[in-house]
Structure 1
Amino acid sequence: MPSTLRPAALLLGCLVATTACSDPAPKPQQPPAASQPAAPSPQTPPLVPAAPAPAPAAPSPLALSVNAAAFDPAAVTPEAKQAYLVRAQVLLDRAHFSPGVIDGQEGGNLTLALSAFQEAHRLTVDGKLSPAVWDALAADAAPVLTDYVITAEDVAGPFTPDIPKDDYEAMAKLPALGYGTPLEGLAEKFHMDEPLLRALNPGVDFSRAGTTIIVAALGADGLPGKVARILIDNSKGTLRAFGDDDTLLAVYPATVGSTERPAPTGEWEVNTMAPRPTYTYDPSRLTFGKPKGKLTIQPGPNNPVGSTWIDLTKDTYGIHGTPDPKLVNKRASHGCVRLTNWDAAELGAAVRKGAKVVFEGRAAR
């Protein structure tokens, strides 16, 4: 059934629309009378037994070690070090100190998450995974990896392989900008990068429904309160979300502006939030890119603004997702605030219209 599009706002040259779809409920069928067994309908194909679900693959050595990993800065093997880094990243993610993509690697976003965690827990702030930080994280003793059965929805698509990056004219010709593969969709679903998901599940066919895989055990959905204030640090590349009583609710790594189009400074407000936004490139309002005419790019997680758009009262500026989560806080944006798709969605679901948005500091780029 065709979906119904409901325009919401014109944002950053973005026409935002939400999609709704409803299908009629199936009509109940009367069972055949007991004395007259029903003959099979000539139009009904014979039932084919469902293929048995594949047996779960044997856990990889990495998967076996992550849940039991202890902090050991002198880990003698790369696998041992990756195991405790994966555990630390999952625990930070569950505590809403986002490390960005969970990949089991050291990097700037992990340092930012550790620094924010240390500050919130009144520990020495140096961005390092120390024994004191590990003990505080380990207060959450739940396993950090769990089993997940790939669903039919996970593999149904539609998928959009080979999206032409930064070619807006080519992207505008596509009916949607979905994930390229089931693997990409599953990695984002569990805040992971694809190489780590493969390493935890060697030899697995991620396109087969019913397959059991090992994934990050994320926490409960959503933030523990509504967001009343957002603080964006242009120089560090972080976004902090605060509740009504100024309680810190979450810290996210963010790409904030660029040398050519720096992020603003000062105080603004949240205007509206839109999931599944379309993206309209308007050369009369935007100074980047090559197209000469106005273009509309359809929704999808690989849309230039990702899966979520949070509009600000600062004209043409917003907080949004990205098609390249591993590049958050590692490559300049066009002036807006770019988060991973999952962090943008979490923030968007909790932020109130009218929430204060404060930009402070100069962009580092």
Structure 2
Amino acid sequence: MKRLSLLISIVAGLLVAGVVASALPAADEPMAAIPVGVTIGGVQVGGLAPDAAAAAVQQAFATPLELQLGTTRVLVTPDVLGAAPIVDKAIERALAAQPNTPIALGVSIVPGTPLAFVATLAKRYDRPAVDSKLSLRHLRPWLSKERAGRKLVQRQSVRDIAAALTGGVRTGIVLTHTTLKPKVTRRNFGPVIVIRRKSNQLFLYDGSRYRLFFAVATGQSQYPTPLGRFSIVVKWRNPWWYPPDSPWAQGETPVPPGPDNPLGTRWMGLSAPGVGIHGTPSDASIGYSASHGCIRMHIPQAEWLFNHVEIGTTVFIVSA
């Protein structure tokens, strides 16, 4: 009887062991693999187990983005942009997909992070346009070379970066910028006048390019024409002449436009108080230091010059 009970126990134990063994997977049974040819965010994951596929997608996503700003190249990793891949859901879709199916990779982006990065980039990259600057060298006008500026289009750049992150693009990401043109260039600078006081000569330049020369009269020794850099601030046709507050004009009265007006028919007033370029009925004074500080010209030449200069035209007066 004892032998029969022992035999029954052994048989029952073997049956239970068999059931348990059949319920457990074999030690070498492979895990489910993603169908052949499936990609996630452009990464080939076909034939990989879920964990291996997730690691491959994570590694590829972490590749830095190469941003192009003109000739400047900037590398930035997705985490700096506040971006992270949504891998789990992509793996689920990949496991259920048909072979050779491309699976889009979802990306979460922390709001405002790309814009903050682009704003920082703009501070380094943006530069204002630089106008051409005028100076006098060797008695001639000299103009520095203008320089174009540039400005990153920030909102569009954020959209371009987001598209690259979600599309799996990592190279050739060209960020949009605008070119800022200088307002004043060597080509469009306009007229410049150089007056040589000692030699009583007026030179007209188009920017730095010589154009014409005129003989003029400048101030007497007791009323010298001031030296320096000035500009034309007013232009009057057929001006009145009003006596200045100076000893030589004591007792004089205003003179209306006409042949006896000491200013001729044109007045180009300078930023030097009381000083201007004007015509004169006293042609014999031209070529001499004969005025009370102004620059006299023959009337026809003053009329011509009046039409070829502007308010704001720079006037250099030098001692030469």
Q: TM-score, normalised by structure 2?
A: 0.39
In our comparison, the structure showing a higher alpha carbon Rg is: 2
Q: Which has the higher strand share?
A: 2
Higher relative contact order, chain-length normalized (CA < 8 Å, sep 6+): 1
Q: Which has the higher helix share?
A: 2
